[in-house]
């Protein structure tokens, strides 16, 4: 049994960690956090040069043609570094949607541009409150034009194109949903930035007014494609969350070793030790669930839907747990803008919602486990 | 990344599978498969006898104590082969429970510290299950703080005279031998005055009294020693070096990788899948689904953590203390799972008798046994300390009794 990443993949992880330690220090993240730039353009360029943006994109479309396991190890490092770039929107959502459902022409147009860092993509799914569901999509598509409003759209204000979920039939059923590709620079859209929990990753409202769009995948197949995209993104985001969990745990551990109160290191108090031990437990369970998700993703296994939901839930819980208790270990200093703890707290809680909230994924997991048991 | 065996592992698995399939006591398979925490019973047979017979059969064919050297009754297998065997043994592995302490802790301690002639005499019948061993460490005054034990061993000619009391000794009532940690010098700090022995549990002056547990069952015992004589050649390690010897024993306890920990989740999921609540099927109830999902990811997290450890073994690496999380997570989880299963039964959940209760009282038995799992083999708190200190590198507790002679340490809080 070799339920682990290969030596080459581990080497890639080390390479990504080293690169991000250099190019994506907390100081660099703060430039975006403080609103001085919408995202880190230099870092984005560097990620393209390293081949990270196109690591899972086939060579014929300008990528490195490696695979999803390679993308998983990079995702973990992106989460660890709290990278302020539109990586998940572009690489996990837009690129994966194109890979699953894009025509040859669509792939040729957008995938090389993603790999080279020239195009930022995103998924426009949500329309206000609510989780992923065909019922919650009200934006309409008729005669090749879209009308409606999407919000929140991750990285919507900096994206060049979007995969848009639209209603193409009368009821709210699954087969009334279709996906469209929209060039956001071609007119017909109005974009407004939204203040959000995590300023290092933008959110936007996008209004479509008679906006021209081309279909992505067959009409009526939107929900089925979307489900696959969300499952893949769930695994990849889970790796970011595990990377973030580990970093938050390390920060807490380091501070507990450093800080002295009552004449001793605070890390020698059991109340603090046990809090950190519990963070380690959450992070370890999440990592193991993620590895299973990575295996299912990379082999396109029938277990992917269940494995993705489990990874999503476990990693979301772990990151929220580690991020909040990291602040607790730091005490008052953890609650200052100056310390980095809140960046992980913000990211953890924003990521917990981005692909649908925990209650949605809990529901998905149970449905999928029942389906497996019935089969 | 894959779950595949190497060719050698696959070969081993198929040989093991074929032997188990041809030899296992299949008449008990169904009952063993349905057993859960607090309830491993065979209706028409004595489980100890069935277990001993299965162990002897394995030993005769060379399948006992796979990881032990052949000359001591083992098979000389690699750690990964031991894991594969456990996987293939499946429900029949339940029958090895009475041997876990002997095979996992006493045997390795004997191997490391006993004289060669003792190893050749005592280890093969331990491997074959003909003789059962227990571990006599914990005391009323030394639970988590094992080194605080007070049982005295005093030199008397070529023998040692033992006086004192042990507690929480699993299986002492059916054990033939035991390894015993004693205090030989109370005038030095507590870790320095300990010495380890092994002894015949039938020695004059040994008295075993079963403890009636909170669950009503009796798995553990108190063991009293009154002027029990142990010859010096049954000493394990040097006089005063008992603490180091005991660490060998405890390390072996924690390296039991791949042994499935019981979370109660499969039982709960199965139960909820057919249970009807007042407003419809439990499995379609939002609150039930949320609870199940949260436990599902803990159970799968443990399963794949174990797979990662097995992969490390397969590469020839030694698993570390990070594997402490299995017991820590599963212990409190099974307690919560059982509590919730009864909650779903409403007032009827209170009925626990096998004849009248839901599922013959499976979850009631689980609830009553569960508190013990969070204490035995290292409390939740000790497990968290292990993770914090050995995995995360946090400082050890400040020990106020560390440099104090044992007989000067206060014994009462107030």
d(CA B208, CA A324): 50
Query: Within a domain: residue B397?
Result: no
* B112 and B153 together in one domain: no
List the single residue in A with minimal CA-CA distance to B312: A2
pLDDT for B344-402, tens place per residue? 999 999 999 989 999 989 999 999 999 999 998 889 999 999 999 999 999 998 888 88
d(CA A24, CA A82): 8
Q: Which pLDDT band holds residue B42 (cuts at 50, 70, 90)?
A: confident
Quote the pLDDT of residue A281: 98
Residue B364: which CATH number? 1.20.140.10
CATH number of A223-374, picked from 1.10.3720.10, 1.20.140.10, 1.10.10.10, 3.40.350.10:
1.20.140.10
Per CB-CB distance under 8 Å, the chain B contacts of A369 are: 269, 296
List the single residue in A with minimal CA-CA distance to B4: A1
**How far B223 CA sits from the closest chain A CA (Å)?**
32
Per CB-CB distance under 8 Å, the chain B contacts of A281 are: 325, 328-329, 387
Using 50 as the pLDDT threshold, list the residues of chain A that sit under it: none
* B341 and B307 together in one domain: yes
Measured from the Cβ of residue A218, the count of other Cβ atoms closer than 10 Å reads 12
Cross-chain CB nearest to A314 (options B5, B297, B395): B297
pLDDT for A50-62, tens place per residue? 999 999 999 999 9
Query: Within a domain: residue B1?
Result: no
Per CB-CB distance under 8 Å, the chain B contacts of A273 are: 384-385, 388-389, 392, 394
Per CB-CB distance under 8 Å, the chain A contacts of B82 are: none
Which of A232-241, B190-199, B404-413 has the weakest average pLDDT?
Answer: B404-413
Question: Residue B276, class by beta-carbon neighbours within 10 Å (0-12 exposed, 13-18 middle, 19+ buried)?
Answer: exposed
Q: How do the residues of chain B divide into helix, strand and coil, expressed in percent and rounded to 5?
A: 50, 15, 35
**Predicted TM-score of the model (pTM):** 0.94
* B387 and B270 together in one domain: yes
Quote the pLDDT of residue B320: 72
Does pLDDT of B411 surpass 90?
Answer: no
Instruction: Report the candidate in B297, B121, B108, B132 with the shortest Cα–Cα distance to residue B201.
Output: B132
Quote the pLDDT of residue B260: 65
Does pLDDT of B198 surpass 90?
Answer: yes
State whether B301 and A314 contact (CB < 8 Å). Answer: yes
Query: Within a domain: residue B328?
Result: yes
Instruction: Report the candidate in B387, B394, B380 with the shortest Cα–Cα distance to residue A280.
Output: B387
Does pLDDT of B86 surpass 80?
Answer: yes
* B291 and B358 together in one domain: yes
Does pLDDT of B188 surpass 90?
Answer: yes
State whether B394 and A298 contact (CB < 8 Å). Answer: no
Instruction: Report the candidate in A210, A92, A1 with the shortest Cα–Cα distance to residue B83.
Output: A1
pLDDT for B252-300, tens place per residue? 654 555 566 889 999 999 999 999 999 999 999 999 999 999 999 999 9
Query: Within a domain: residue B236?
Result: yes
Cross-chain CB nearest to A366 (options B289, B303, B393): B289
The first and second tokens of residue B316, run together, are: 């020839």
Q: Which residues contact A169 (CB under 8 A, 6 or more apart)?
A: A175, A176, A177, A220
Backbone angles phi, psi at A103, to 5 degrees: -75, 165
Residue B17: which CATH number? 1.10.540.10
Quote the pLDDT of residue B406: 92
| Protein fold of A122-219 | Butyryl-CoA Dehydrogenase, subunit A; domain 2 (2.40.110)
Element (H, E) at A110: helix A104-115
Quote the pLDDT of residue B257: 56
Q: Which pLDDT band holds residue B217 (cuts at 50, 70, 90)?
A: confident
CB A63 within 8 Å of CB A76: no
State whether A370 and B394 contact (CB < 8 Å). Answer: no
* B346 and B270 together in one domain: yes
Query: Within a domain: residue B2?
Result: no
Per CB-CB distance under 8 Å, the chain B contacts of A361 are: 293
State whether B301 and A285 contact (CB < 8 Å). Answer: yes
Backbone angles phi, psi at B240, to 5 degrees: 90, -5
Per CB-CB distance under 8 Å, the chain B contacts of A288 are: 300-305, 307-308
State whether B398 and A264 contact (CB < 8 Å). Answer: yes
**How far B158 CA sits from the closest chain A CA (Å)?**
45
State whether A274 and B381 contact (CB < 8 Å). Answer: yes
Domain count, chain B: 3
Query: Within a domain: residue B87?
Result: yes
Does pLDDT of B251 surpass 90?
Answer: no
Give the Å distances, CA to CA, from A227 to A30, A148, A288, A305. 34, 22, 23, 9
Query: Within a domain: residue B162?
Result: yes
Residues B18-40, mean pLDDT to the nearest whole number: 90
Quote the pLDDT of residue B253: 58
Does pLDDT of B222 surpass 90?
Answer: yes
CB B280 within 8 Å of CB A353: no
Per DSSP, the residues of A329-344 read HHGGGGGSSSSTHHHH
The range of the structural domain enclosing residue B349 comes to 257-391
**How far B299 CA sits from the closest chain A CA (Å)?**
9
pLDDT for B95-126, tens place per residue? 998 999 999 899 999 999 999 999 999 999 99
Residues B408-412, mean pLDDT to the nearest whole number: 86
State whether A289 and B381 contact (CB < 8 Å). Answer: no
State whether B307 and A288 contact (CB < 8 Å). Answer: yes
State whether A257 and B393 contact (CB < 8 Å). Answer: yes
**Where along chain A do its domains lie?**
7-88+104-118, 122-219, 223-374
When comparing pLDDT for B79 and B308, which is higher? B308
Per CB-CB distance under 8 Å, the chain B contacts of A257 are: 393-395
State whether A313 and B273 contact (CB < 8 Å). Answer: no
Query: Within a domain: residue B367?
Result: yes
Residues B44-65, mean pLDDT to the nearest whole number: 95
Superfamily of domain A7-88+104-118: Acyl-CoA dehydrogenase/oxidase, N-terminal domain (1.10.540.10)
d(CA B321, CA B104): 16
Bond preceding residue A152 cis, omega within 30 of 0: yes
Per CB-CB distance under 8 Å, the chain B contacts of A360 are: none
Cross-chain CB nearest to B293 (options A4, A280, A365): A365
Quote the pLDDT of residue B39: 79
Last residue of a domain, one of B234, B251, B268: B251
State whether B381 and A285 contact (CB < 8 Å). Answer: no
The residue count for chain B: 414
d(CA A216, CA B291): 37
Quote the pLDDT of residue A344: 98
Last residue of a domain, one of B92, B127, B162: B127
Cross-chain CB nearest to B297 (options A69, A256, A289): A289
**How far A247 CA sits from the closest chain B CA (Å)?**
13
* B263 and B384 together in one domain: yes
Q: What is the largest CA-CA distance in chain B?
A: 77
Residue B220: which CATH number? 2.40.110.10
**A-B contacts at Cβ under 8 angstroms:** 156
List the single residue in B with minimal CA-CA distance to A5: B1
**How far A357 CA sits from the closest chain B CA (Å)?**
12
């Amino acid at each position: 049994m070799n339920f682990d990443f290969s030596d080459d993949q581990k080497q890639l992880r080390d390479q990504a960690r080293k690169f991000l330690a250099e190019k994506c220090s907390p100081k660099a993240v703060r430039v975006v956090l403080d609103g001085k730039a919408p995202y880190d353009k230099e870092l984005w360029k560097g990620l393209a040069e390293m081949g990270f943006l196109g690591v899972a994109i086939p060579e014929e479309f300008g990528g490195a043609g490696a695979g999803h396991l390679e993308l998983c190890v990079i995702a973990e490092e992106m989460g660890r570094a709290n990278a302020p770039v539109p990586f998940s929107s572009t690489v996990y959502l837009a690129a994966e949607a194109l890979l699953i459902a894009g025509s040859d022409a669509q792939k040729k147009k957008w995938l090389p541009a993603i790999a080279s860092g020239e195009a930022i993509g995103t998924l426009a799914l949500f329309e206000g409150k609510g989780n992923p569901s065909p019922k919650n999509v009200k934006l309409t598509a008729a005669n090749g034009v879209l009308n409606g409003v999407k919000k929140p759209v991750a990285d919507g204000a900096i994206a060049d194109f979007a995969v848009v979920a639209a209603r193409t039939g009368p009821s709210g059923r699954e087969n009334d949903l279709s996906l469209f590709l929209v060039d956001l620079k071609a007119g017909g859209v109005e974009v407004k930035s939204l203040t959000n929990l995590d300023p290092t990753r933008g959110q936007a409202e996008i209004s479509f007014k008679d906006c021209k769009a081309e279909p992505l995948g067959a009409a009526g197949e939107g929900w089925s494609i979307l489900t696959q995209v969300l499952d893949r993104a769930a695994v990849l985001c889970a790796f970011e969350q595990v990377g973030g969990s580990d970093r938050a745990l390390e920060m807490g551990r380091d501070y507990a070793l450093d800080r002295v109160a009552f004449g001793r290191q605070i890390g020698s108090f059991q109340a603090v030790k046990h809090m950190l031990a519990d963070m380690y437990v959450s992070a370890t369970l999440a990592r193991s669930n993620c590895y299973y998700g990575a295996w299912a993703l990379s082999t396109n296994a029938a277990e992917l839907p269940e494995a993705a939901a489990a990874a999503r839930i476990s990693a979301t819980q772990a990151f929220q747990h580690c991020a909040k208790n990291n602040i607790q270990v730091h005490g008052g200093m953890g609650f200052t803008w100056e310390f980095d703890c809140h960046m992980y707290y913000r990211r953890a809680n924003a990521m917990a919602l981005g692909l649908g909230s925990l209650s949605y994924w809990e529901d998905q997991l149970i449905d999928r486990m029942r389906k497996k048991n019935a089969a | 990344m894959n779950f595949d065996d190497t060719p050698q592992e696959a070969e081993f698995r198929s040989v093991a599978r074929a032997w188990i399939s041809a030899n296992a006591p299949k008449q008990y398979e169904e009952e063993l498969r349905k057993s859960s925490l607090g309830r491993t019973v065979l209706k028409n047979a004595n489980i100890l006898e069935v277990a001993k017979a299965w162990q002897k059969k394995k030993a005769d064919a060379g399948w006992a104590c796979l990881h032990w050297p052949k000359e001591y009754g083992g098979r000389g297998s690699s750690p990964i082969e031991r894991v594969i065997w456990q996987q293939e043994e499946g429900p029949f592995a339940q029958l090895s429970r009475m041997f876990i302490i002997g095979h996992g802790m006493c045997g390795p301690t004997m191997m490391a510290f006993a004289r060669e002639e003792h190893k050749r005499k005592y280890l093969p019948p331990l491997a074959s299950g003909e003789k059962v061993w227990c571990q006599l460490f914990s005391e009323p005054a030394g639970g988590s703080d094992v080194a605080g034990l007070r049982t005295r061993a005093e030199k008397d000619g070529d023998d040692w005279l033992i006086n004192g009391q042990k507690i929480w000794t699993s299986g002492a009532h059916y054990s033939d031998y035991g390894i015993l940690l004693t205090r030989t010098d109370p005038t030095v700090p507590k870790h320095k005055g300990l010495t380890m022995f092994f002894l015949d549990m039938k020695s004059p002056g040994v008295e075993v009294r079963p403890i009636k547990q909170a669950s009503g069952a009796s798995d553990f015992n108190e063991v009293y020693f009154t002027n029990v004589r142990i010859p010096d050649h049954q000493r394990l390690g040097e006089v005063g070096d008992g603490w180091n010897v005991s660490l060998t024993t405890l390390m072996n306890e924690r390296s039991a990788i791949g042994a499935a920990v019981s979370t109660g989740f499969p039982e709960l999921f199965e139960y909820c899948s057919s249970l009807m609540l007042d407003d419809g099927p439990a499995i379609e109830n939002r609150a039930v689904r949320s609870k199940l999902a949260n436990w599902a990811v803990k159970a799968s997290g443990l399963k794949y953590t174990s797979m990662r450890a097995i992969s490390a073994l397969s590469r020839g690496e030694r698993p570390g203390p990070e594997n402490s999380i299995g017991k820590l997570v599963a212990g409190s989880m099974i307690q919560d799972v059982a509590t919730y299963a009864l909650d779903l039964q409403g007032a009827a959940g209170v009925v626990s008798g096998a004849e009248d209760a839901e599922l013959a009282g499976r979850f009631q038995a689980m609830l009553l046994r569960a508190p013990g799992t969070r204490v035995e083999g290292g409390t939740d708190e000790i497990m968290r300390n292990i993770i914090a200190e050995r995995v995360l590198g946090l400082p050890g507790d400040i020990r106020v009794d560390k440099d104090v002679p044992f007989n000067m340490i206060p014994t009462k809080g107030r």
